[in-house]
Amino acid sequence: MNYSRHTFKEPATVNILAVESSCDDTSAAVIQNGKILSNIVASQSVHEKYGGVVPELASRAHQQNIVPVIHQALSEANIAKSMLTAVAFTRGPGLLGSLLVGASFIKSMAYALDLPLLGVDHMQAHILAHFIDDPQPQFPFICLTVSGGHTQIVKVNSHLDMEVLGETQDDAVGEAFDKCAKLMGLPYPGGPYIDQLAQAGNSERFSFPATRMPDLHYSFSGIKTAFLNFLKKNERMSPDFIEENKADIAASLQSTLIQMLLEKLRMAAQETGIKEIAIAGGVSANKGLRNALKEEAEKYDWNVYLPKMEYCTDNAAMIAMTAYYQYQAGKFLDLRADPDARLHFMG
């Protein structure tokens, strides 16, 4: 890690502006002494017609959104640029072209305003979203981080000390939701549509083979292929199969994915003896997963922490929260620091 010329000196009021631009949401937030004052998210609808995020279109949309989003975050927080103590950006992981927009903008602000620069790990930030409001998990806790790009079981020892105990070896669970939804003809991103349909469906009607990986690892690419074959086979016999059975298909698929997630989470809790359990990332908005976790909590005497809905999917509030801890630890970056599309838990 590079440290800039700035050394840590705690002023009375710490105001940090943070930007998130790792994928297809442009977001800016302001945090004051650890309390979020504003959190603006501009989502990009341009990708819907392509059935997935188109990297080049994402970085162009970030360029259009970043100035108004930052202005709105500062004005909602009632903070002028001259009142800022530091600025932060998402360093990775994510799409390089998207990350570069946030990084370049924030680095130029750091240079122009002579402010310390902070670079945040996106996955760490999803986990630290749990510290924005109460109740907060006690250390050490286990966090199942489930998003469109990642599926990880993380042991969180402190705000800035985290260990990945297991992770997917191929697709992320959010990707499995989205790809299967696409096969059903649902819009992108399909995770929330599957979730909604599943609420009215019978989850025991169909079964899909869950891939079991060794240790605390996951694999979600097999279920996508099994799902494609299942749909094709049934559509050959009945062309309207999906339309007539969509709720049961969604509920059965969702239930299989949730069971796969929970099996390894139970193993992690048992192996570590930790009963403080959290979930984070876009898929933590899934109602089926949230309900299943509450049931597990009763069964295994866990304390379960579910993020507020607004902090599940990508947002800059979680980047600001993480930046605040990094600020206190004096973890500043040099202005030459680049984003890192493959960043893997920098701690």
Residue 128 in tokens: 């630290």
**What is the Cα–Cα distance from 152 to 55, expressed in whole angstroms?**
23
Packing angle, helices 241-272 and 173-183, rounded to 10: 170
The mark string for 272-311 relative to Zn ion (x by CB under 5 A, - otherwise) is ----------------------------------------
**What is the Cα–Cα distance from 320 to 73, expressed in whole angstroms?**
12
Stretch that binds ligand KG4, among 128-136, 174-182, 216-224, 297-305 (CB under 6 A): 174-182
Contacts for 338 with CB less than 8 Å, ≥ 6 apart: 103
Out of 17, 18, 23, 66, the only residue in the binding site for ligand KG4 (CB under 6 A) is 23
**What is the Cα–Cα distance from 198 to 310, expressed in whole angstroms?**
21
Smaller CB distance to ligand KG4: residue 256 or 313? 313
Is 178 a residue that touches ligand KG4 (CB under 6 A)?
yes
**What is the Cα–Cα distance from 333 to 164, expressed in whole angstroms?**
24
3-state secondary structure of 247: helix
Stretch that binds Zn ion, among 25-33, 84-92, 143-151, 181-189 (CB under 5 A): 143-151
Partner interacting with residue 92 (select from Zn ion, ligand KG4, none; CB below 5-8 Å by kind):
none
Q: With the C-alpha atoms ordered 163, 168, 169, 174, is the resulting torsion angle positive or negative? A: negative
Stretch that binds ligand KG4, among 50-58, 106-114, 135-143, 173-181 (CB under 6 A): 173-181
For residues 317 and 29, the answer to whether their CB atoms sit within 8 Å is yes
Stretch that binds ligand KG4, among 45-53, 78-86, 154-162, 278-286 (CB under 6 A): 278-286
Is 201 a residue that touches ligand KG4 (CB under 6 A)?
no
Least Cβ distance, residue 146 to ligand KG4 (angstroms): 8
Is 44 a residue that touches Zn ion (CB under 5 A)?
no
| Position with the least CB separation from ligand KG4 | 282
Smaller CB distance to ligand KG4: residue 276 or 314? 314
Nearest residue to 108 (alpha-carbon basis) of 87, 85, 93: 87
**Binding positions for ligand KG4, 296-335, rule CB under 6 A:** 313-314
Helical segments of 200-302, H only: 221-237, 241-272, 287-300
| H/E stretch holding 170 | none
Partner interacting with residue 166 (select from ligand KG4, Zn ion, none; CB below 5-8 Å by kind):
none
Partner interacting with residue 27 (select from Zn ion, ligand KG4, none; CB below 5-8 Å by kind):
none
Least Cβ distance, residue 61 to Zn ion (angstroms): 17
Out of 191, 201, 307, 339, the only residue in the binding site for ligand KG4 (CB under 6 A) is 191
Smaller CB distance to ligand KG4: residue 87 or 176? 176
Least Cβ distance, residue 330 to Zn ion (angstroms): 26
For residues 1 and 332, the answer to whether their CB atoms sit within 8 Å is no
| Residue 265 vs residues 2, 203, 259, 275: alpha-carbon distances, Å | 35, 21, 10, 11
For residues 108 and 65, the answer to whether their CB atoms sit within 8 Å is no
Stretch that binds Zn ion, among 81-89, 147-155, 192-200, 212-220 (CB under 5 A): 147-155
For residues 173 and 211, the answer to whether their CB atoms sit within 8 Å is no
DSSP state of 83: G
Residues that bind ligand KG4 (CB under 6 A): 23, 147-149, 174, 177-178, 189, 191-192, 195, 281-283, 285-286, 313-314
